[in-house]
Amino acid sequence: MTLPLRLAKADYFPSEMMPVAVAERTPQPSFPAHIHEFNELVVVWRGNGLHMMNDRPWLITCGDLFYIGPGDCHSYESVNDLVLDNIIYCPERFRLELDWSQFLPQEPAWRLTTRGMALARGVIQQLAQESRKSDLLSRQLTEALFLQLVLILQRHRYAANSGGHLPEGEQLDLLMSAIQGQIAHFDLGEFCQQHQLSERALKTLFRQQTGMMPAQYLRQLRLCKAKFLLRSSGCLIGEVAARCGFDDSNYFSVVFTRETGLTPSAFRQQFEHHAQRKNLLLPYEY
């Protein structure tokens, strides 16, 4: 089994004193599984891709926000014009006497409202400039800017499947939350009628921001959920199909095979074989 890459602090920070650095990815290419010696915030600005985090697939697009710790293993696959910022930080280097855990939660995946993205972008741009320096004033300003950023994220992030509690007028936020909260039964026409929105205009906005149409995004979300269920649960194939919004298990198998190159059963078996092999090797690993 191939071990994940390990990214070192020395390769990303200008000095051993600087607590924060910004790694811009415009675009973010496919990148193999890796872990860090540091913590990381990932803010997705545009495009889409598959983010594998601790063996769980996440379909990511504009507004997605991830908190990644040193023990987390993640990678990027099937990217399409994916643009993001990695804000990397070392908590042990902070000098402000704050309980950072209250701002940086354990839950890895969130979404950021359109308003929150606009506010965060300006702060991240300032962070990128100051964090490249190494003088004392820049280090202090970098930490202050990071605090400002995490407070913005605290105020404007929301759970992807919250289904509400979002500002009126944030059309893309409302749509994203509705889709992820109703993966199995979402209907775009009903959503637009409920919120008095133009379906055509909403589709255009969605495509501009994500690189996908809403139907494509919904299908990929369903497949991500199916992959997770197939590798982490004992559900029958038909039950997985139903829980992911596919009324016909045969059609689910056709779509899944077309998208992944494996039937649902074959996809599940490759992880069962890996687990069996790992169990056989464990007594000999010291």
Q: How far is residue 199's CA from residue 5's CA, in Å, rounded to a whole number?
A: 44
Distance between alpha carbon 261 and the CA centroid of its chain, in Å? 23
Go through 257-277 and write b for each residue having 16 or more CB atoms within 10 A of its CB, e for each that does not. eeeeeeebeebbeeeeeeeee
Sequence spans of domains, the chain: 5-158, 171-276
pLDDT above 60 for 187: yes
Q: Say if residue 107 is exposed, middle or buried (CB neighbours under 10 Å; 0-12, 13-18, 19+).
A: exposed
Q: What pLDDT was estimated at residue 282?
A: 40
Give the pLDDT confidence score for residue 165 in this predicted structure. Answer: 52
Task: Please tell me the predicted confidence (pLDDT) of residue 274.
Answer: 55
Question: What is the distance between the alpha carbons of residues 147 and 151, in angstroms, rounded to a whole number?
Answer: 6
Distance of CA 32 to the CA centre of its chain: 15
CB contact set of 132 (below 8 Å; sequence gap of 6+): 14, 21
Q: What's residue 104's pLDDT? A: 83
Question: How far, in Å, CA of 64 to CA of 56, rounded?
Answer: 15
> Mean pLDDT across the stretch 134-161?
91
Which homologous superfamily is 5-158 in? Regulatory protein AraC (2.60.120.280)
Q: Do 45 and 27 form a contact (C-beta atoms < 8 A)?
A: no
Range name among 102-106, 133-137, 155-159 with the lowest pLDDT average = 102-106
Q: Is the pLDDT of residue 198 over 60?
A: yes
> 171-276 — its CATH code?
1.10.10.60
pLDDT tens digits, one per residue of 152-174:
999 998 876 654 455 555 788 88
Asked whether the predicted pLDDT for residue 129 surpasses 80, the reply is yes
pLDDT digits (tens, 9 = 90+) for 57-89: 999 999 999 999 998 999 999 899 999 999 999
Amino acid at 6: R
State yes or no: pLDDT of 184 exceeds 90: no
